[in-house]
A and B are shown apart, each in its own frame.
Chain A
Amino acid sequence: MGSSHSMSEEIQELAEKTGFTSEQIEHLHRRFKQLSGDQPTIRNLRQESDGLADEINFEDFLTIMSYFRPIEMNMDEEQLDHFRKEKLKFLFHMYDSDHDGKITLQEYRNVVEELLSGNPHLEKESARSIADGAMMEAASICVGQMEPDQVYEGITFEDFLKIWQGIDIETKMHVRFLNMETIAQCH
């Protein structure tokens, strides 16, 4: 699998950066190779280039995967908080497609529409009003009472954190990396 000498150094670096063990990194590397067809990068398969990058290399792949690590028992409060923030930031970026730091009404609408896009019978308006309702709720959580002429620009990251306060993201947003042997062949 290539020159093992430089690989192990790289692996060390990556391990420190993302927090994976070297075993896990190797597994993920294998998977990456499957997905990319042995190329160094994975291309963006979507037609519209929505994302910021057209290709991602292994390091980016690992970075994203590291957001989904499960929490460990030996983490202290600060680490846990940091971990949680990282996860939420990732999620925030998924909502905020233009990366201006706010989730605007339009972006939120897009999210809801895509969520409901599996159902062809649905009218766009339903998605819209749900998104509107959700946005108003978010505004009321974050700002409280608003005058009729106040404008709520969008959900910032702090507001996002507030909304997610009741929900334990660290327990939900994880994928089991423990049983890496069950990685199936790419089909």
Chain B
Amino acid sequence: MRATGCLGVPTLHKLPSVFMVAALLGLLPLLHSHGLQPNPMLASEAPHHYPAVVRGNEPGDFTSAPPGISEEIHPLSKHSSNHTGNGHSKPEKAFPVLGIDYTRIRIPFEISLWILLACLMKLGFHVIPSVSNIVPESCLLIVVGLLVGGLIKGVGESPPILNSEIFFLFLLPPIILDAGYFLPLRQFMENLGTILIFAVVGTLWNAFFLGGLMYAVCQIGGTGLNHIGLLANLLFGSIISAVDPVAVLAVFEEIHINELLHILVFGESLLNDAVTVVLYHLFEEFANNEQVTIIDILLGFISFFVVSLGGVFIGIIYGIVAAFTSRFTSHIRVIEPLFVFLYSYMAYLSAELFHLSGIMALIAAGVVMRPYVEANISHKSHTTIKYFLKMWSSVSETLIFIFLGVSTVAGKHYWNWTFVISTLLFCLIARVLGVLGLTWFINKFRIVKLTPKDQFIIAYGGLRGAIAFSLCYLLDYSHFNMRDMFLTAIITVIFFTVFVQGMTIRPLVDLLAVKKKQETKRSINEEIHTQFLDHLLTGIEDICGHYGHHHWKDKLNRFNKKYVKKCLIAGERSKEPQLIAFYHKMEMKQAIELVESGGIGKIPSAVSTVSMQNIHPKTLPVERILPALSKDKEEEIRKILRNNLQKTRQRLRSYNRHTLVADPYEEAWNQMLLRRQKVRQLEKKMNNYLTVPAHKVDSPTMSRARIGSDPLAYEPKPDSENLPIITIDPASPQSPESVDLVNEEMKGMSRLPPSPEEDEEGLVMRVKEPSSPGTDDVFTPGTSDSPSNQRMLRCLSDPGPRPEPEEGEPFIPKGQ
């Protein structure tokens, strides 16, 4: 157990154990109080009965952040609390200065404690790197669950079992939404046929093969098994045959396998939900009937289409509504993420309402709303959505695995060697055969064939998980009295797949040298090439007269651009082509990276020193106007930088509004100026960094005063409507940082070592909307707000073109 850090090694050793102890201590009050309440054990035989399994859980507040409980406060003698809590009715009692009322807060408290336990476990695992390299997190969590369950049982209480309602309504949706919202759509669509075949045909094959074989086993299996009918076995087969998205996500995320395989297994696990739902309900219904007629089978077949397409349809509707709503949220940015979450969740619930596939609805909603919502919402909302989804799904996943462990300890088991072992065996065999057979069939139609290595990984990655467990739990005990045996078998299979397959898949991937995910950043070159290829291939397909893949994609894109985007995206962004949007995103990312990496001397190594000079030296420097940025974007970028960068001083000497030309796009002259400034600036900064005291920021008033006193400072008022006006301030902390958004400028600036306390930033001229003079570095082309104004972003470097030597460094502390 060697911690990787250099400091505090002894503390790091103890940390996980401290966590464990703390968490477990916190559970003790639960146990004691629980003893005084009626004992809610196996919850959901009829799900509407006693609500409890997770300790008297009500459909609670899933998002409650774990309160900062210091568990040591709860003394072991808490059990008397519940008695005294209600003791206020007694007369003649001295006024209780300090009272304890546990029952009032019990339910949220317990929920929070469980979630806190889950989070602490996650924390703990990463402190012990050696273990987490070998064992995937899901296994560790199940072990923890087993321990906790054992502990609770050991104290004499009955540990809670994973309530199926809680699971399906609260724990599963965040994971699926996270997966669906961030689904890599391009790969998914390219492989959609393969994924569908695996999901539908593969699951059907698994279910029937397993069910049939188990029936045979039951018939032969001697006493104790003979009474299990064919339908019951088929039901069992259909429950256990579905690959589980939660388990797949948990394991595959850590092995970083190449995108194709990842999307195949993961897509399969998502889409087989429809099949599972249909089969489950079908067999559950039929188990009561004695006879299954053709009509029933036909209805089942139809119901499959209804369930899956209906789910997708509901998801699409909600997605469109969400996109449409997001179009109008430009004034209330704060609640934007909430719309995304709420609409998606309602899509899930609506689908569940009609017994349609909730997972497919959720995925469809996420996929449909994402491009439009992202075009509409602010950058911060985007980050919020991303992090909330990741957070929720992470916590959910942890809780699910822990509860799986606890439920194993808690549940009633019925171990039958024949049944369990044959289930396990046939599960594996069915999976392998299914994958092999389907791949042989699919490879006839695929361009990029699936190699045997791929097939192996796909077969090996068919993990079962908590969905199977919960589905089995939902079975009505009166109709299926062998439910405990089913449960035992399912848990065994789950454990086997998660532990054995989960642990060994990583070394196997390395052993077989399966292609891993390429960690390349998306570059603008790649984007250009990909788009170019798309066009090229569409053209070639047209020449061949072949209505292929690209043809339809192109048609869809055109439709999208022409009609849909206009409705669902607000403002001018609806006309923005994809390449431009991509470019903006990249610029944004670079701006943020620049800010974040602006530590002392920390120049990002990825920054290259290539600049315009290098690629276009012969002709006059071309204009480097940036792509048109909408006002919102500018505002955002400005805000980001304002909050993070410090201002620098500007020298205003040789800028004179009269030297500016009316048309800002002819900036050959400016460009040269820029070049000179930059070089000089660089030199100056290098010197200053070594010699100058910290640059003190001054107050707005001081800066304004400085402007006033500076003979060459500008008046912000335009003197003519036509001439562009530069209003430049010496840096003041209030003035929004303008940013040079062109790549090379950023790279240029990042070369500048920042002053000890602050970052220096190049002056940029930005298009200014009317704002008070003296507070902005702006470049105001008249007061009109025509569209052309918005495109004038000019990058100039730092203090004026002719820094005065006698004034010394730009870092003279002022305003003291």
The reply to whether B546 and A129 form a contact with Cβ atoms under 8 Å apart is no
Size of interface on B: residues with Cβ below 8 Å to A: 58
Asked if A50 is an interface residue, CB under 8 A from chain B, the answer is no
Q: Which residues of B contact A151 (CB under 8 A)?
A: 614-615, 617-618
Q: Please report the C-alpha to C-alpha distance between residue A54 and residue B758 in the assembled complex, in whole angstroms.
A: 62
The A127-175 residues at the B interface (CB cut-off 8 A) are 128-130, 132-141, 143-152, 163-164, 166-167, 171-175
**How many angstroms from the CA of A185 to the CA of B520 in the assembled complex?**
42
Query: Which of A9-17, A77-85, A114-122 is the interface stretch?
Result: A114-122
Give the chain A neighbours of B95 by CB distance below 8 A: none
- Chain B 516-534 near chain A by CB (<8 Å), digits 1 or 0: 0010100111101111110
A145-B609 contact, Cβ under 8 Å, with A73-B449, A134-B528: yes
Within 8 Å by CB of B612, from A132, A176, A179, A183, lies A132
Q: Which residues of B contact A144 (CB under 8 A)?
A: 608
B540 A68 Cβ-Cβ under 8 A: yes
Q: Which residues of B contact A139 (CB under 8 A)?
A: 608, 610, 614-615
Specify which chain B residues have a CB less than 8 angstroms from the CB of A91 in the assembled complex: 529, 532-533, 536
Q: A148 touching B613 by the CB < 8 A rule?
A: yes
Q: Which residue from chain A places its CB closest to the CB of B616 in the assembled complex?
A: A105
A68 to chain B: closest CB distance in Å?
6
Assembly CA distance A145 to B605 (angstroms):
10
Q: Are A125 and B791 touching (Cβ within 8 A)?
A: yes
Name the B residues within 8 Å of A185 (CB-CB): 545
Complex contacts, A68 vs chain B, CB 8 Å: 537, 540
**CA–CA, A94 and B723, complex, Å:** 43
Task: For B626, list chain A residues within 8 Å (CB).
Answer: 125-126, 129
Q: Which residues of A contact B412 (CB under 8 A)?
A: none
Residue of B nearest to A166 (CB): B520
Give the docked Cα–Cα distance between A78 and B608 (Å).
34
Given A175-B541, A184-B547, CB of A115 within 8 Å of CB of B579: yes
With A111-B528, A115-B531, A167-B526 as known contacts, state yes or no: A31 contacts B544, CB within 8 Å.
yes
A146 touches B609 (CB 8 A): yes
Does B546 contact A175, Cβ atoms closer than 8 Å?
Answer: yes
For residue A73, which residue of chain B has the nearest CB? B449
Q: Which residues of A contact B524 (CB under 8 A)?
A: 130, 133-134, 137
Nearest neighbor of A163 in chain B, beta-carbon distance: B525
Residue-by-residue, is A85-122 near B (CB-CB < 8 Å gives 1, otherwise 0)?
00000010011000000000100000110011011011
Answer whether residue A123 sits at the interface, using C-beta atoms and an 8 A cutoff. Answer: yes
Which residues of chain A are within 8 angstroms of B611 by Cβ–Cβ distance?
136, 148
Nearest A residue (CB) for B743? A133
B66 sits at the interface (CB 8 A): no
Chain A residues near B526 (CB, 8 Å)?
163, 166-167
The answer to whether B575 touches A121 (Cβ under 8 A) is yes
**Any chain B CB within 8 A of the CB of A53?**
no
Q: Which residue of A lies closest to B742 (CB)?
A: A129
Whether, in the assembled complex, B628 has its beta carbon less than 8 Å from a beta carbon of chain A, the answer is: yes
- On whether the beta carbons of B614 and A125 are closer than 8 Å, the reply is no
Q: Are A175 and B525 in contact (CB under 8 A)?
A: no
Q: How far is the CA of A156 from the CA of B384 in the complex (A)?
A: 43
Residues on B with C-beta less than 8 A from A94 are 532, 536
Contact B529–A167 (Cβ < 8 Å): yes
Point out the residues of chain B lying under 8 angstroms from A112, CB to CB: 528, 579
**A115, A133, A145, A176: residue with the most chain B Cβ atoms closer than 10 Å:** A133
A182 within 8 A of B: yes
Query: How far apart are the CA atoms of A140 and B743 in the complex, in Å?
Result: 12
Contacts of B679 in A (CB 8 A): 148
Does any Cβ of A come within 8 Å of B719's Cβ?
A: no
User: Any chain A CB within 8 A of the CB of B535?
Assistant: yes
Contact between chains at B447 and A115 (CB < 8 Å): no
**Do the beta carbons of B615 and A115 come within 8 Å of each other?**
no
Distance between B628 CB and nearest chain A CB, rounded to angstroms: 6
Q: B543 contacts the other chain (Cβ, under 8 Å)? A: yes
Q: Which residue of A has the minimal Cβ distance to B447?
A: A70
Q: Report Cα–Cα, A10/B388, bound state, in Å.
A: 65
> Is the C-beta of A39 less than 8 angstroms from some C-beta in chain B?
no
Instruction: Determine the chain B residues whose CB is within 8 A of the CB of A140 once the complex forms.
Output: 608, 610
Q: Which residues of A contact B544 (CB under 8 A)?
A: 28, 31, 65, 175, 177, 183
A34 at the interface (CB under 8 A from B): yes
Q: Any chain B CB within 8 A of the CB of A35?
A: yes
> B579 near A31 (CB under 8 angstroms)?
no
Closest CB-CB distance, A116 to chain B, in whole Å? Answer: 6
The interface residues of chain A lying within 8 Å CB-to-CB of B612 are 132, 136
CB B58 to nearest CB in A, in angstroms, measures 51
- Does A52 reach chain B (CB closer than 8 Å)? no
Q: How far is the CB of B742 from chain A (nearest CB, A)?
A: 7
Task: Please name 12 pairs of A and B residues whose Cβ atoms are closer than 8 Å in the assembled complex, sorted by A.
Answer: A31-B545, A116-B579, A119-B577, A134-B528, A136-B611, A137-B525, A140-B608, A145-B609, A175-B537, A176-B548, A176-B549, A177-B544
Residues in chain A within 8 A of chain B (CB atoms):
28, 31, 34-35, 65, 68, 70-71, 73, 91, 94-95, 105, 111-112, 115-116, 118-119, 121-123, 125-126, 128-130, 132-141, 143-152, 163-164, 166-167, 171-180, 182-186
What 8 A-B pairs are tightest by C-beta distance, nearest first? A140-B608, A126-B627, A166-B520, A125-B625, A183-B545, A140-B610, A70-B447, A139-B610
Chain B residues with a Cβ under 8 A of chain A: 445, 447-449, 518, 520, 523-526, 528-533, 535-537, 540-541, 543-550, 575, 577, 579-580, 583, 608-618, 622-628, 665, 679, 742-744, 791
